[in-house]
Structure 1
């Protein structure tokens, strides 16, 4: 038992830790104007979350990877023209056009 515990401790010591940001974002309050201040990772996470959220609302369980760039461009253009609109509304409006 002690050998297993020692082995586990040695193995865990070699594993790098990943720092996670403990941040809660209420997407319902995020405005289009805030997208330009996000890092690339933050924007990508938000975009992926938006697609999943809207897909869930519409009962869509598939994701067309070929269309993701077009969808992102459409949402970006909508947000550029409507900076005070929330990103949830912008995504829904851009995807319904």
Structure 2
């Protein structure tokens, strides 16, 4: 392992080891959440999940690039679709607009 890689690994391990332990549950089953429930949740969680969804719906052969314009566009489309269909499951809605 090269020195920069070793330093990065050490820094990552130290960051994880010293991170505060959150009180809330650490699992979120997106298949059980409706659009309404999701968008009524915390903004931090909403942002994190939408960023995760962008990665989930990105093709395996696509470059490893986080496109913030695309993220904003897909979040807007998901929000509009969910506003029109609040009782729809979040994953069902995401399947319609994220791909």
- TM-score range (shorter-chain normalised) is 0.5 to 0.7
2:33 to 30, 35, 40: 30
* Conserved? CA contact 2:57–2:98, under 8 Å: no
Q: TM-score, normalised by structure 1?
A: 0.67
**SS of residue paired to 1:46:** helix
> Which structure is higher in helix share?
1
CA distance in 2, matches of 1:46, 1:95: 12
Q: Describe the shift of the 1:33–1:22 C-alpha distance in structure 2 as closer, same or farther (beyond 3 A).
A: closer
Structure 2: tracts of 5 or more residues without a match: 1-17
Q: How many aligned positions are there?
A: 79
Structure 1 residue 17 displacement after superposition: 5.2
What TM-score comes out, normalization by structure 2 length?
A: 0.66
- Unaligned runs of 5+ residues in structure 1 are 1-15
Equivalent in the alignment of 2:20: 18
The aligned residue for residue 92 of structure 1 is 95
The runs of at least 4 aligned residues of structure 1 exceeding 6 Å deviation read: none
